[in-house]
Structure 1
Amino acid sequence: MSESLSDRLGAGEMLHLPARVTHARRGGIRHAFVYRVDYLLLDPDAVRPPRLFSRNRFNLFSLYDRDHGGPRGDGSGAAWAQRVFASAGLEGVRVALLMQPRFLGYWFNPVSFWLALRGDRLLAVIAEVSNTFGQRHSYLCHHAAFAPISPEDELTATKVFHVSPFQDVRGTYHFRFSITGAAAAIGIRQIDGKEGLKATMSGDFSPAGSARLLRSALRRPGGAMRVIMLIYWNALRLKLKGAEYRKLPAPPDHEVSR
């Protein structure tokens, strides 16, 4: 029987997720890709990191609090997530972060997820979205009265933040979350009439020891550097297919959409 997510995080374990990430654009210009991307899941305030991972200092892989939670580059990490959950009426929860770490000091994270857990019940998620233009916006996802989120549930949010220069800032996001001590599966659909996209990430968790981190670095060299290169490569492919480039609009005047 696999150990529960709460037990693993409570013991200070950091989990490695070699996620299968898919994107499929729908509408007049179709485009799709599938890649493996390395994510880590941890409780930043309880984690006992392996030698090749550090918090707030340089290493092969690292997590800096300023990279997450609050203004981009000036975040406050888990304390910010606790404040956001509390301001929405949710207190007394364990906060965990599912993210792509820095690689040799380089950081870029298209989307990270702050999880609010009570035992093994997932009560809320903050989807923290960063674009390639230096901006960030977050979407707080939860049920009324913070009822537990099940894998079959779909949570919605209005799109208000510019992500891809080949899509308009309109439509609706539809989120699905399934996260246990053994595996994770997250789905995001953006619907804008006949346009939109579907993105998924899924995989099995393993203990994120130094040997596993080193293997992931050798199998997918570059970490976050590789991710940003793949983003620009697919942007070029879309442009060559005739996708219209949209100018960068002003960001939302609020930090978190609720």
Structure 2
Amino acid sequence: MSAVPALYSCVITHVRTAPRRHTLRHRTYMWLVDPDRPPRLPFVLRPLARFDPRDHFTGSLSSIRAGLDAFLAGHGVGLDGGRVVMLAHARVLGHVFNPLTLYWCHGPGGDLRCVVAEVHNTYGQRHCYLLRPDATGTAHADKAFYVSPFFPVDGGYRMRLPVPAERLDLTVHLDRAAGRTFTATVRGTRHEPRPATLLRLALRHPWSTLAVSAAIRFHGIRLYLRGLPLQPRPDDHRTPERTT
């Protein structure tokens, strides 16, 4: 099982193949942490990495792990005290945007019981998928959440989500009736979470999570100006108390 905490400098790529091809590529950095034991940083660096339970699940429980355990319990899954590792952006100077947060959930013997994929859209909503990866780290899920204004809520995801080690290598495909229409990848290299490393990454990628959300909006405007039709958002688009 991966040692935590850790930092990953990474490249996130979105490739849209239909109805028009378009690519977004963004450099950033992410944290791999145990939500029960978030990283302890020097006081002066704490504004660069904060993990707030309000940013995950219902946002109403006392800790991220409590929110995860409540979600799992609602789906009949217990970890029996097993360890969780979470890949996410931290709050940086008070701002955070996590298009995808992943939780690898283990039993007390270290066996991987499930993966939870928590998706946030740019409208401030979130939704969780409970995944059962196979031996290759691959899992499938029906799409059930409005993310892009250019795709309706249909089709299904094929996700390859191996537990991060020295390399971070994640892939998410969206397959619709007409074929594969979208692929997102996250590729990264592991770093020890030393203060100097965090400071270097923060200076290299200032306001990292704000930059992610700004890039998504900017590319959305470009697609709209190129004539890509908007898909209506479902009437009931609130973040549910329990998501599947």
Task: Give the alignment's TM-score, normalised by structure 2.
Answer: 0.88
Per the TM alignment, residue 178 of structure 1 is displaced from its structure 2 partner at its CA by 1.4
The superposition leaves residues 88-141 of structure 1 with CA deviations (integer Å, 9 ceiling, x where unpaired) of 333222122110111100121111111203465433111111111121111010
State how far apart, in whole Å, the 2-side matches of 1:228 and 1:48 are: 24
The aligned residue for residue 37 of structure 1 is 28
Structure 2 residue 189 is matched with structure 1 residue 198: no
Equivalent residues in 2 for 1:110-129 (5 A)? 110-118=99-107, 121-129=111-119
Mapped contact 1:39–1:99 kept (Cα < 8 A): yes
Structure 1 position 39, deviation (Å): 0.7
Q: Would the alpha carbon gap of residues 126 and 158 (structure 1) be closer, same or farther in structure 2, given more than 3 Å must change?
A: same
CA distance in 1, matches of 2:111, 2:79: 14
Structure 2: tracts of 5 or more residues without a match: none
Cα deviation 1:138-171 (Å, max 9, x = unaligned): 101015xxxxx43x34311111110011111110
| CA deviation after TM superposition for structure 1 residue 223, in Å | 1.2
Indicate whether 1:68 and 2:56 are aligned.
yes
Q: Give the match for residue 37 of structure 2.
A: 46
2:19 maps to 28
Equivalent of residue 6 in structure 2, options 3, 15, 29:
15
Mapping of 1:108-257 within 5 angstroms? 108-118=97-107, 121-142=111-132, 149-150=134-135, 152-194=136-178, 196-249=181-234, 250-251=236-237, 255-257=242-244
1:146 aligns with none
Question: Could you tell me how far apart the structure 2 residues matched to 1:231 and 1:200 are?
Answer: 15
One of 88, 111, 114 as aligned partner of 1:99 = 88
In 1: Cα distance, 2:86 partner to 2:137 partner: 21
The whole-number CA distance in structure 1 between the counterparts of 2:189 and 2:112 is: 18
Residue 61 of structure 1 and its aligned partner are, at CA, apart by 2.3
Within 2, Cα distance between the matches of 1:116 and 1:32? 32
Residues 103 and 116 in structure 2, CA contact (< 8 A), matched pair in contact too = yes
TM-superposed deviation, 1:190 = 0.7
**C-alpha contact (below 8 Å) 1:53/1:62 kept by paired residues:** no
- Per-residue CA deviations over 1:2-38 (Å, capped at 9, x if unaligned) read xx51xx23xxxx2101122111112221111222121
Cα distance in 2 for residues equivalent to 1:115 and 1:21: 20
Moved more, 209-218 or 83-92: 83-92
| 1:81–1:95 contact (8 Å) kept in structure 2 | no
What is the RMSD computed on CA atoms of the aligned residues?
2.1
How big is the shift at 1:256? 2.1
Query: Aligned partners of 2:193, 2:126: CA distance in 1, in Å?
Result: 27
Q: What amino acid is aligned across from residue 117 of structure 1 in structure 2?
A: H
Q: Which runs of 4+ in 1 moved over 4 A?
A: 118-121
Q: Is the 8 A contact 1:125 1:140 kept in 2?
A: yes
Amino acid in structure 1 at the alignment position of 2:56? H
AA paired with 1:141? L
- Give 5+ residue unaligned stretches, structure 1: 144-148
Percent identity over the alignment is 29
SS in 2 for 1:166: coil
Question: 1:183 & 1:90 partners in 2: Cα distance?
Answer: 29
| C-alpha spacing 1:105/1:123, structure 2 compared with 1 (3 Å) | same
SS at match of 2:224: helix
Cα gap change, 1:177/1:201 in structure 2, threshold over 3 Å: closer, same or farther? same
- Pair 1:103–1:137, CA change in 2 (3 A): same
Shift of 1:246: 2.1
